[in-house]
Structures are given as structure tokens and as C-alpha cells.
Amino acid sequence: MANDNTFAGPGASSLATPNYTKMTTPGSYLDIQNDGWAKQYLPELYEKEVERYGNRTVAGFLKMAGAEMPLQSDQIIWSEQGRLHLAYKGTVNCTDGQVTDIKDIDNEGGSSIAHSVRVGATVVASIVGGAGTKVCKAYCTASANDNLSLTLRPYGAEHFDDLATLAGGDTAVDIRFFVYGSEFKKGSNPMDESVEPTFKTFTNKPMIIKDHFEINGSDTAQIGWVEVTGESGQGGYLWYLKASGDTNVRFEEYMEMTMVEAEKSASTAVSDIPDGSEGLLSAIGSRGIVATDQFNAGAVLSEFDDLLKELDKQGAIEENMLFLNRDANLVIDDLLAGLNPHSTGGVHYGVFQNSEDMALNLGFTGFRRGSYDFYKTDWKYLNDKSTRGLVGGLSGVLLPAGSSSVYDQQLAENVRRPFLHVRYRASQADDRKMKTWITGSVGGATASGVDKMEIHYLSERCLVVQAANNFIRFDS
């Protein structure tokens, strides 16, 4: 049934419209003037504002999944470990065994890199030949001085093209290989060179968020007919208290939503656009795993198992949290329900059978698959019509329940921090985590002679997403 979201008072021809910027406007009241005031009977009035949207806040996600800590710089730089084992992708000539165009397995679309495979190393290789794929063991006989190429010889034959599925015409075919050890002849020289640890460096910068509330002096003393309430606890018959309280709550919501949605600016031609920052969704998109159409109706378990295989290739963190929209949450519930045994007496979920005397529980809060534990919950931000529920495009995210050990400059010691955490600008002189101040000459302010009160809001913060390769974003 359609709902046009309208309400008209007795004899009214216009709507009562809440106003968040100017507090006491004609549109903020029920119009009973056009006929209503001429009648001898007053209308029946409910004095309390109806909370038609329930709890309107959508924040709280970062409080569950991360932490907050101060910073004192314009930029955050952190490094993340590289892989322990040596593994590469390249192109091999099956006749002479020369491997070129060597690339990082985590960035196969990037440019060629210098390898760390030394002469004497033994490798397991997978070569895609003209007739199929061949997995074999090989030995590194030579490495170029610039480390941009190397020569591999198979253990099972003189040349790769002597192996089944590989031919002499295969002069430039794909090869993937990893080092599993080394071997040397008796009395040979020691292995040359050493392998230096690799790491990747990432950076982010805080962004400034602002908001503003304003009311003139007269309206602060104007009583209303309707008692108002809000999420921040404000209440009473003064409309400006509700408006200022809503502005405060809305700003707190913006602080979290900005950390989720923030993007770094790619435009240098438009000077009006600030630099931006890397939010959660952006970080997963550039450094994590993106799954599309993962939770469609009729999804099967094998589709979810494909995600487990991707996690296996990364950190394989055992505990993970799923924050999902309504459709994705129900799809997982139905998927898990289909795996449970059914009895003739009814549905049989979980450890205890649902009794006929209790409300049937058809939902799951967690499950284990393979070596992974998953805990799932609804993310209101994705369901609310005034946020992501309006535009769609996102079914949820998967976050690892882990932490990393880093050196804290302020504490001068190593501390453990969640992979996902917020850094806000603060020092002994000023704390910009969430800063508010009042100007004007109303409401206790004496900063000027202007007959109004202004409340200013400011925060300077950014999100740090470490080990983003273990995060998954579910696009719809």
C-alpha cells in the first residue's frame, strides 16, 4: 500500500514539515488557522511526537569492529609484511628454460619485477603448454645479474619440452612457480646472496568534517505544542532543543559514514574538490577481495566455498565477522537451514530442536565452515532507506577479527591494534576527535553581539585498514 507521507491538520491545505536548519518556520506547525481557529472547539492534539522511524541512528559499526586512537600528523604511513615464501608468475621458453616477464603473484597485472630466486633453488612449477598444464619440479641453474630473468631445468627430463603436454614450439608460455628448498653438489660453493624481507607501504590522510546549527534568540524562548524527543536524549516543548540534538546525532553519524564511504580524489583539475581519504569500501576495492552477486536467491554452498579458497590464499584468519543487508542475511539463513536435518515433527535447527511451545527461530548468528568461524549480523546502514538502503549496490562486508602489532610513537612501545581502526587528530593543545563550540550571544555564549546562537561541529579523522587483503566487499 502506497504511503505518501503526508499529514494535514483540521482545515489545513499544507503539510507539517520538520525543518532541520531553521527551527521555527510556518511549515513546522500543524495548520489549524484556515477554519480551525474560527471554530468554538479546539482539535484533539497528541502532545508527544510519534517516533515513526524508530531509532533512526545507523552508526555503531566501527565501535563493534574497530578502535579509535589519536594522531598528530597530516599523514599516516604503515607497512605490511610481504609473503614469506618466494612465488612468482612469468613466461618460460620450454626449449632453453629461460623465465622472463616475472611478476608478483598478488599483482599479476602489474609491471615486471626483480625476483629473489638464487642459483641452487628447487622449485615446483606449473606450466601451461599447448596441449595442457604440466606440474613438475625444477632446478634454478642461472639467474641474471639484474634479477629480471632466470633459467630453470626440470628434474624429470633434459628440457621442459621433453615433458608431456609441452612441446618445442612452446617458447613463451605461462609459468607459475614457488621455491621449496635448494640442492648442491658435494664440495660446491655456498649459496650466493641472501633474501631480504619484502614489505608493502600504505598511506592515508585525515579529512576534516564540519557541520553547523543556528537559531535566533527569540526562537530559543518559544514554546511548542508538541513534546519532542530525540536519540541524544533531548526532549521537552522547545523545538530548537530537538533540532540541535538531531544535528549533534547526525554529525556523529557522518563521522562514521565518512569513514566507510570516503574516497581519495582522483581529480587534479577541479580545485574545489578536497584530497579526500581512503574509506573502508575504497580500501577493500583497491587492496582486498571484491565478490559480486554472491548472495542471490538460490545461492549454493559451493559459491561460499569459493570465498574460503580466496581467504586461504591470504592470511587465513580463523574468525571473521559478516555485516550484511537484509537480503544477504536471509539468503545465508536459508542456505544454512537447508543443510540442517529435518525431522517429521518440524524444523530442526541448531543444537536444540525448536519446541512447538516456543517461537520458531529461523535465524543463525554464526556458523563454521572448513577452518573458519563466521559471525553475522544485520548492518542497519545497508537497510535504512535514508542511507545505503536508498541506492543499493552493496550487500555487506566481511571483516577479519584480528589485530596487528605496531610501534606506537606516543606510548613508545609495541601495541596491538585491530586491523580496522580510526585515527583522529589530537595533541595536548587541541583534541579534534569531535570538537564543538558555541558562538553568538544566546544560550550562554558571549562571543559576539549578534542575537543568535551558533553551534559548530568539527572532526578530523581517517580510517586505517590494515591487512585489507583479508577483507571482502560484497557488491550487488
What does the pLDDT average to over 212-230?
79
Which residues neighbour 299 within 8 Å (Cβ) at sequence distance 6 or greater? 331, 335
Task: State the CB neighbour count (10 A cutoff) for residue 29.
Answer: 18
Query: What is the pLDDT confidence band of residue 340, given thresholds at 50, 70 and 90?
Result: low
Rg (CA), the chain: 31
* Run of H or E residues at 186: none
What does the pLDDT average to over 390-405?
85
Return the amino acid letter for 338: G
What does the pLDDT average to over 259-285?
88
Does 473 score more than 90 pLDDT?
Answer: yes
Does 229 score more than 80 pLDDT?
Answer: no
Comparison of pLDDT for 349 and 457, the residue scoring more: 457
- The pLDDT, as a whole number, for residue 34 is 57
- The pLDDT, as a whole number, for residue 80 is 86
Q: How many CA atoms lie within 13 A of 432 on its CB side?
A: 20
Q: Residue 398 gets which letter from DSSP? A: E
The whole-chain average pLDDT of the chain stands at: 82
- The pLDDT, as a whole number, for residue 371 is 87
CB 167 within 8 Å of CB 94: yes
Does 245 score more than 50 pLDDT?
Answer: yes
**CA 457 from centre of chain:** 25
What does the pLDDT average to over 253-273?
86
Does 251 score more than 70 pLDDT?
Answer: yes
- The pLDDT, as a whole number, for residue 293 is 86
- Of 34, 25, 32, the closest CA to residue 7 belongs to 32
Return the amino acid letter for 126: S
Q: Residue 44 gets which letter from DSSP? A: P
What does the pLDDT average to over 214-239?
75
- The pLDDT, as a whole number, for residue 9 is 43
Query: What is the pLDDT confidence band of residue 50, given thresholds at 50, 70 and 90?
Result: confident
Query: What is the pLDDT confidence band of residue 461, given thresholds at 50, 70 and 90?
Result: very high
- The pLDDT, as a whole number, for residue 296 is 80
What does the pLDDT average to over 227-256?
80
- The grid cell for 324 is 550484511
Identity of the highest mean pLDDT range in 65-74, 81-90, 338-347, 442-451 = 81-90
Does 14 score more than 50 pLDDT?
Answer: no
What does the pLDDT average to over 49-64?
78
Query: What is the pLDDT confidence band of residue 6, given thresholds at 50, 70 and 90?
Result: very low
Return the amino acid letter for 405: S
pLDDT digits (tens, 9 = 90+) for 114-162: 999 999 999 999 999 877 899 999 999 999 888 999 999 999 899 998 8
- The pLDDT, as a whole number, for residue 7 is 41
- The pLDDT, as a whole number, for residue 449 is 83
Does 37 score more than 60 pLDDT?
Answer: no
326-339 and 301-313 helices cross at what angle (nearest 10)? 110
Give the 3-state secondary structure of residue 368. strand
Widest Cα–Cα separation across the chain: 115
- The pLDDT, as a whole number, for residue 40 is 58
pLDDT digits (tens, 9 = 90+) for 304-322: 889 899 999 998 888 999 9
- The pLDDT, as a whole number, for residue 15 is 47
* Cα dihedral: 329, 330, 335, 338 (round 10): 140
What does the pLDDT average to over 189-208?
89
Does 64 score more than 80 pLDDT?
Answer: no
Query: What is the pLDDT confidence band of residue 413, given thresholds at 50, 70 and 90?
Result: low
Lowest mean pLDDT among 18-32, 214-228, 430-444: 18-32
pLDDT digits (tens, 9 = 90+) for 72-81: 889 999 888 8
